[in-house]
Amino acid sequence: MIKIRDTQNFIYNRKLVVDLIKKSNIDKNDIIIEIGPGKGIITNELAVRVKRIYGIEYDVHLYEELKSRFLNVENVEIIYGDFLEFNLLEKYKYKVFSNIPYNITAKILLKLTSFSNPPEDIYIIIQEEAARKYAGNPYNRESMRSLLLKPYFEFKIIHRFRKTDFTPVPKVNSVFLHIKKRKNILIDENSSDLYNNFIAYIFSSSGNNLKEKTKNIFSFKQLKRLSQDIGFQITDSPVNLSFEKWLKIFQYFITGVSTDKQKLIYNAYAKLLNEQSKIDKRNRNFKY
Ligand SMILES: C[S@@+](CC[C@H](N)C(=O)[O-])C[C@H]1O[C@@H](n2cnc3c(N)ncnc32)[C@H](O)[C@@H]1O
């Protein structure tokens, strides 16, 4: 059973925080959301470098301490509560800078990246394995998550930590991940639902390779042709193809496949989110 204490691996070196901020593009015009300020080591350094910070802390004792520490700091607002329940900013551009609680990584990133006004930049300290999954190629093979997000965001690991940079020392490795909102998204806005459905369909349909997974949406002839034109094997696993190749396959799906076949994928993304939330409910063991 996960307790809030288990989410608390604090940074204790002020110089490390300053270095991380220097590696970011954050400046005095920025509005920052910090998830879990903890004892305020990041908040304190951000406060003198940015326009405004909203720090959302779910540990009531830490919240009380933060509240009194930043009482007279005008550009810092400390809010008590669960970040997952917090309303993101609808009208302003903002960035996220946080050493996140690792147990809710997927929920934090789903919330931030699916919001109608997502952050311009997300700088997070995150478990290395999760960062590699989200960033996909060149750090790892692509994943469903990396492929779903890459039309809208770019990923870069900009620092690797030592485990001893945190106290208590965590069991897992951590990195500093930059997720940057693209200025120009890589798929037509009208096709974004179809793209989500397409990727979700490929990853949730039965079979291990492209030939098996696409058998209801592409004819053998179509897939063979695509594999020659784009450069892949029909026996490849979906994770072995780069995002750029998946974009090309998707473009063909929009233009070269009949509407009847396109309809087969229509609910795939909603179904996936629904199944994910059922799993989350079964695993709801995060007690405070
Ligand atoms: C990894 S610690 C980082 C603390 C501090 N920022 C630092 O770097 O030393 C994660 C912080 O998130 C807080 N936290 C855990 N779950 C949270 C949630 N759902 N919403 C907001 N804060 C949460 C924890 O209490 C803790 O302070």
Count the domains in the chain: 2
Residue 63 is assigned to a structural domain of this protein: yes
Residue 288 is assigned to a structural domain of this protein: no
- Domain boundary among the residues 160, 181, 202 is at 181
193 is in an annotated binding site: no
- Domain boundary among the residues 181, 200, 227 is at 181
Between the CA of 181 and the centroid of ligand 1 the distance, in Å, is 24
Q: What is the ipTM of this complex?
A: 0.99
pLDDT of residue 280: 64
Q: What is the pTM of this model?
A: 0.93
Question: Between the CA atoms of 245, 247, 250 and 256, what dihedral angle is there, to the nearest 10 degrees?
Answer: -80
Residues contacting 38, CB < 8 A, separation 6+: 8, 10, 57, 59, 62, 99
Whether 149 and 224 share a structural domain: no
Residue 287 is assigned to a structural domain of this protein: no
- Domain boundary among the residues 122, 153, 181 is at 181
Separation of alpha carbons 118 and 205, rounded Å: 30
Whether 144 and 245 share a structural domain: no
pLDDT of residue 273: 86
Per-residue three-class SS string for 100-149: CCHHHHHHHHHHHHHCCCCCCEEEEEEEHHHHHHHHCCCCCCCCHHHHHH
Whether 62 and 148 share a structural domain: yes
| Best residue for ligand 1 mutational test, from 17, 99, 124 (most atoms within 8 Å of Cβ) | 99
Within 208-256, where are the H helices? 210-213, 220-226, 243-256
CATH number for position 147: 3.40.50.150
Whether 170 and 247 share a structural domain: no
- Site residues for ligand 1, CB cut-off 6 Å: 4, 7-11, 35-39, 41-42, 56-59, 62, 82-84, 99, 101, 104
Per-residue pLDDT tens over the stretch 250-281: 999 999 999 999 999 999 999 988 887 777 66
Domain with 193 in it: 189-282
How far does Cα 284 stand from its chain's mean position?
Answer: 20
Per-residue pLDDT tens over the stretch 127-162: 999 999 999 999 999 999 999 999 999 999 999 999
Residue 91 is assigned to a structural domain of this protein: yes
